[in-house]
Amino acid sequence: MKRFAALFAAIDQTTKTSVKTKAMADYFSHAPDSDKLWCIALFSGRRPKRAVTTTDLRTWAAERAGIPLWLLEESYPIVGDLAETLALILPPPTQTSDHSLSHWIDVLRALHDVPLENRKPRILDAWDRLDTTERFLFNKLITGGFRIGVSRKLMTRALAQATGQPEATLAHKLMGGWTPETTSYHALIEAEDPAADQSRPYPFYLAHQLDGAPDALGDPADWQAEWKWDGIRGQVILRDTAYHVWSRGEELMTDRFPEFARAVDFLPPGTVLDGEIVAWDGSQPLPFNTLQPRIGRKTVPKKLLREAPVILLAYDLLEHNGRDLRDAPLAQRRATLDALLADLPEDAPIRPSPIVPFYTWASLADTRAKARDMRAEGLMLKRTSSPYLSGRKKGDWWKWKLDPLTVDAVMIYAQQGHGRRATLFTDFTFAVWQGNDLVPFTKAYSGLTDKEFEQITRWVRKNTLQRFGPVRQVRPEHVFEIAFEGIHESPRHKSGLALRFPRMARWRQDKSAQDANTLDDLRALLAAYG
């Protein structure tokens, strides 16, 4: 654990990617294999299952520190992280320990087999053997919120330096449904056959946002345009007469989309398609909120299958007859994809995402303006000579999204942020007018500069009307322009509406609260774009 704590400290104390990469490469070169495996798992979002509630942790830590629980609760918003708050309030340890990272994870995993009343002494014993940084990491493992500012790409780069393997090879090995309980470091990283898991997807190629017109991209003839659909990016994998569905977030979603089981009937084994999973009305995608109820389900009832049938709008072919096509140019991959899907049945759950024809950037801009009519968010621009790379690479793939929808709204509640924003009010609730009343309709926490957050924080402290725990009701004076990608009905919200990806576009200090939009304005947007 001390070696892992030293790695965390080295990463936490710098913003230089080269320093972070070197620290991780040193760790992967010298740590025990079991610790290396868990480090890879933690940095790629795989955490041990939680065995203790945060309520119990708060109570036990306050008791051990000899402070009232309310004082811990008041400290938490200031520190901004529960694991760090608990580590800071606990008294110094009376024992020492040289146990490894994997040992302490085994301690946490074993708690699932221990009666609830026997878990507390084991947690207290661990706290009494770990220093402040080690406790912080141990608490992170318990609470399941393990994020320390390292991207998977950076970790893969460090692993490549430590092992001498290419980054692309390692990125593929790290995909899929493995956990430290189901594999070993040798099997995952050192074994020669990275395709042993037949369900394993390929790392996704991600596009950059295009700001402004695409004229600087050069000759339009070198580019392919597609609709940017509003669904779930996914890969459908057909190998050994079985099918698997993976999301871009590397979540196995096969059981949620049984429609794709039929794909094995008309597509050959060794096929991997990349595309957008969308709810489908027979001719075009349905709004994203139609698809959303299926995302969080492990099994899908027949009623939901009828109400939100899905298809894959495929726009890339990554594997064909078992052969990896990612190094081939896009034009070749697309031609093979179109030929593969040309004779599918009319009711097949897979069809090619149409290419959008254009000859000039100006004509494509006119087409892009009609994206919402197609239930799309804008356009994707891809260089026809581009290979299928891993991660977000700048230059060959761009997303040219529509300008967001916007409304002016009044801030009515404020709450402090977390982490480095723990001392600032950054999370706000906004309302629009319904007659003489302000009706809350959305929350937002991004979009302002640090200077603006500092300014609004000073105002919130002086203009608080009531407190509800960490939330403050404030005077309804300030107007913000709220940008969002979509709007749909939601019976769970008082307004009856919900926004997709809301954020603060700007602070409208030139407007008064009476200038804000109305609920009728939102309903008009729903009628036009919902």
Given a cut of 60, whether residue 195 has pLDDT beyond it is no
Instruction: Give the class (CATH, top level) of 2-143.
Output: mainly alpha
Give the rounded percent of residues in the chain with a pLDDT score beyond 70: 97
**CB 441 within 8 Å of CB 490:** no
**What stretch of H or E contains 139?**
helix 132-143
Tens of pLDDT, residue by residue over 391-407, are 888 899 999 999 899 99
Report pLDDT digits (tens) over 461-509. Answer: 999 999 887 899 999 999 999 999 888 888 888 899 989 889 999 999 9
pLDDT given at position 193: 59
Q: In this prediction, what percent of the chain has a pLDDT beyond 90?
A: 59
Domain ranges of the chain: 2-143, 205-400, 405-529
The reported pLDDT for the residue numbered 327 is 96
Q: What are phi and psi of 211, to 5 degrees?
A: -100, 120
What integer pLDDT is reported at residue 34 of this predicted model?
A: 94
Whether residue 303 lies in the annotated active site: no
Angular region, 264: left φ>0, alpha ψ -120 to 50, beta rest: alpha
Same topology between domain 2-143 and domain 205-400:
no
Average pLDDT over residues 453-462: 94
Q: Are strands 310-320 and 350-352 parallel, antiparallel or unpaired?
A: parallel
pLDDT of residue 146: 66
Give yes or no for residue 388 having a pLDDT over 90: yes
Per-residue confidence at 527, pLDDT binned at 50, 70, 90?
Answer: confident
Instruction: State the pLDDT confidence band at 419, using cuts at 50, 70 and 90.
Output: low
- Residue 430 pLDDT > 70: yes
215-247 tens-digit pLDDT = 999 999 999 999 999 999 999 999 988 899 998
Q: What is the mean pLDDT of residues 253-264?
A: 90
pLDDT at 184 over 70: yes
pLDDT at res. 392: 86
**pLDDT for res 73:** 87
CATH superfamily assigned to domain 205-400: DNA ligase/mRNA capping enzyme (3.30.470.30)
Average pLDDT (153-167) is 89
Long-range contacts of 8-11 (CB under 8 A, 24+ apart): 8/133, 8/137, 8/148, 9/133, 11/148, 11/149, 11/150
* Closest among 209, 148, 109 to 24, alpha carbons compared: 148
| Catalytic, out of 228, 302, 443, 494 | 228
Q: Kindly indicate the confidence band of residue 147, based on its pLDDT and cuts at 50, 70 and 90.
A: low
Give me the mean pLDDT over the 272-290 stretch: 91
pLDDT (tens digit, 9 = 90+) per residue, 295-334?
A: 877 778 888 888 889 999 999 999 999 999 999 999 999 9
What mean pLDDT do residues 267-286 have? 93
Q: Which pair of structure tokens corresponds to residue 372?
A: 């919402």
Minimum mean pLDDT among 29-38, 92-101, 419-428: which range?
419-428
Mean pLDDT of the chain: 90
Residue 62 is classified by DSSP as H
What is the crossing angle of helices 33-43 and 152-163, to 10°? 150
Helix (H) or strand (E) holding 135: helix 132-143
> Which residue type does 409 have?
A
Residue 293's alpha-carbon distances to 1, 181, 288, in angstroms, are 41, 30, 10
Q: Does domain 405-529 have CATH number 2.40.50.140?
A: yes
Give the per-residue pLDDT at 469. Answer: 77
Beta bridge partners of 242: 239
Q: Give the pLDDT confidence score for residue 379 in this predicted structure.
A: 96
Closest CA to 213 of 339, 366, 351: 366
Q: What is the CA radius of gyration of the chain?
A: 26
Report the candidate in 335, 243, 234, 215 with the shortest Cα–Cα distance to residue 275.
234
Span 16-45, average pLDDT = 92
